[in-house]
């Protein structure tokens, strides 16, 4: 039985780890707070008191933490993955971080005798629960082949997109598309409500045409209900849009829509709404029109 260490049991990480247990893997989880560890144990997994304890016997180590510094903190140092995992272990980073950091850490991992792939995910909390995430993978073909069976337990669309760092580049593009779609949907709903249209009926017909999207399917009702419990927090999308705009600037690419939406997301986070779901973009859009 393949032994998996799973570091980071948050909104996405915990259901992903549970799905690995369901798939028959021996999963040991670590998280800074203990409640998610207890939930993993209740689901048939194991708990660890430290990163070192979690990874010492693991064949595969998965990290799912918020940002580049968090990943660096997990893998580097005396208590980190690289210092404590057994030689030949495969490291899969499902976090969404800067492509340059992903490439740098992958090179460190390989130099230390590990396999490494950056494998950020898309699909939100529900996708993680259902095990149907889209996963874009960067790394060598050999390491991808080793990671693919594990990723099949948590995702539905798993694609090798290039060398180390490529997965994070594709994820940045994903976050650009999602953010612009959420903003466009927010504007459309504010527009419809201003005219007194039956918005639920309108979204049904819009969803059946070219305007249809997974964003409309998953976020439209949340906006109608003004229900913004986080499936993916605005604070994290703010981080991701910072990655997009910085990376685009570094290669001379203009992202005018992405930059505009990035400012709106940043404004929401700055005023204290970072804990809301990213569909909370609707709040600011509505306020700018004097509707709420």
List the catalytic residues: 171
The DSSP code sequence of 28-65 is EEE-SSSHHHHHHHHTT-EE-SSHHHHHTT-SEEEE--
CA dihedral 108, 151, 279, 179 (to 10 degrees): 60
HSE toward the beta carbon, residue 173, CA cutoff 13 A: 8
Could you tell me the two tokens for 20? 């690995």
CB 10 within 8 A of CB 125: no
Query: How far apart (Å, rounded) are the C-alpha atoms in residues 245 and 172?
Result: 9
Could you tell me the two tokens for 141? 């073909």
């Amino acid at each position: 039985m393949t032994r998996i260490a799973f570091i980071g049991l948050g909104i996405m990480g915990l259901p992903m780890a549970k799905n690995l247990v369901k798939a028959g893997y021996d999963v040991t989880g670590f998280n800074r707070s203990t409640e998610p560890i207890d939930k993993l144990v209740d689901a048939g997994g194991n708990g660890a008191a430290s990163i070192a304890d979690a990874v010492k016997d693991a064949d595969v180590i998965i990290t799912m933490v918020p940002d580049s510094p968090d990943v660096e903190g997990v893998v580097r140092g005396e208590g980190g993955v690289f210092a404590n995992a057994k030689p030949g272990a495969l490291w899969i980073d499902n976090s969404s971080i800067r492509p340059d950091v992903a490439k740098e850490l992958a090179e460190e991992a390989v130099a230390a005798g590990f396999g490494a792939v950056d494998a950020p995910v898309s699909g939100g909390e529900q996708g993680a629960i259902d095990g149907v995430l889209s996963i874009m993978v960067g790394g060598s073909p050999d390491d991808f082949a080793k990671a693919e069976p594990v990723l099949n337990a948590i995702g539905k669309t798993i694609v090798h997109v290039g060398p180390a760092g490529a997965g994070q580049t594709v994820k940045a593009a994903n976050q650009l598309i999602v953010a612009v779609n959420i903003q466009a949907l927010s504007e459309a709903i504010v527009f419809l409500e201003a005219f007194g249209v039956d918005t639920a009926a309108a979204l049904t017909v819009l969803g059946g045409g070219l305007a249809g999207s997974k964003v409309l399917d998953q976020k439209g009702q949340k906006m109608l209900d003004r229900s913004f419990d986080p499936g993916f927090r605005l604070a994290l999308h703010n981080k991701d849009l910072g990655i997009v705009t910085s990376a685009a600037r570094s290669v001379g690419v203009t992202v005018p829509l992405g930059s505009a939406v990035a400012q709106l997301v940043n404004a929401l986070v700055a005023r204290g709404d970072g804990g809301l779901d990213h569909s909370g973009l609707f709040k600011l859009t509505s306020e700018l029109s004097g509707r709420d």
